[in-house]
Homo-oligomer: A and B are copies of this chain.
Amino acid sequence: MVRRFFTSFKKLSNKDKRLVAAVKSIVGYKPFRLELFRLVTQHSSVAKTLPNGFRASNERLEYLGDAILGAVVADYLFKKYPFKDEGFLTEIRSRIVNRESLSLLAKKIGISQMLESDFSRSRYHFKSIYGDMMEAFIGAVYIDRGYKYCQKFIINKLLIPHFDLDEIIENNTNYKSILIEWSQKENKSIRFDIEDQKQEGSKKEFRAAIFVNSEKISKGAGLNKKKAEQNAAFKACRKLNLI
């Protein structure tokens, strides 16, 4: 691995000094290759085009970070729960590794602030931006320091301090099922509609609506159909006093 650590911290621009400080406070070390972490904040909508026509954004790092995060969490759960089957492991992993929880995590540990110093907030109306940055950040740590280091970062700095696994395992409420059960008991017709779908780049946002006896009683949004439905179903359960 080529380690091009900037020898003189003093020669850095103020913006780069802030970036070095941010990485050090989040991961615990000064980055070897600062350009990787500069890229983390480059959303595709503001990507610079290189002389060869390639647009340099954080999307490649995001793709890599997503895969590395998936592997590290898979390994962690595999060893932590030796007598749980793969269905359980897959389910718990998907509750840890999803855009909503990664967005929240990015805000908690301050990765979202790396962006605010660079760009105006208004450009990023799309929620998934922080989750994407979180994954890109993980990709950058992996390229900069390798698997072992990145694995320790994910487990010790992200997973253990920010995810309560016991709670994640317990919190298995399927609001859609509660609603369907209720409708059968009460002899009501129920309909789940995916109403609308916003698209930006490769990201989609889904909107679900729930109708009881043809009357719309709730709506919800999410980054996939299931999430949107669950969100709408949760609101419907609250409205109908089922939870």
Give A contacts to B, CB under 8 Å: 50, 52, 54-55, 59-60, 62-64, 66-68, 70-71, 73-75, 78, 83, 85-87, 89-90, 142-143, 147-148, 151, 202
Contacts and interface: CB of A to CB of B under 8 A. Distances in A.
Identical subunits present: 2
The 10 closest A-B pairs by CB, nearest first: A67-B74, A71-B71, A63-B86, A59-B86, A54-B83, A67-B71, A147-B147, A64-B78, A67-B70, A60-B86
A148 B151 CA distance: 12
A73 B78 CA distance: 20
A83 B52 contact: yes
A81 B85 CA distance: 36
A92 to B, nearest CB: 11
A148 B60 CA distance: 22
Contacts of A202: 86-87
Nearest to A59: B86
Contacts of A67: 70-71, 73-75
A64 B75 CA distance: 6
A55 B147 contact: no
A16 B83 CA distance: 24
A142 B83 CA distance: 19
Contacts of A59: 85-86
Contacts of A87: 202
A162 B142 CA distance: 26
A85 B73 CA distance: 25
A63 B52 contact: no
A202 to B, nearest CB: 7
A41 B234 CA distance: 43
A131 to B, nearest CB: 14
Given A60-B86, A67-B73, A68-B74, 8 more contacts: A54-B85, A59-B86, A63-B78, A67-B71, A68-B71, A70-B71, A78-B143, A147-B147
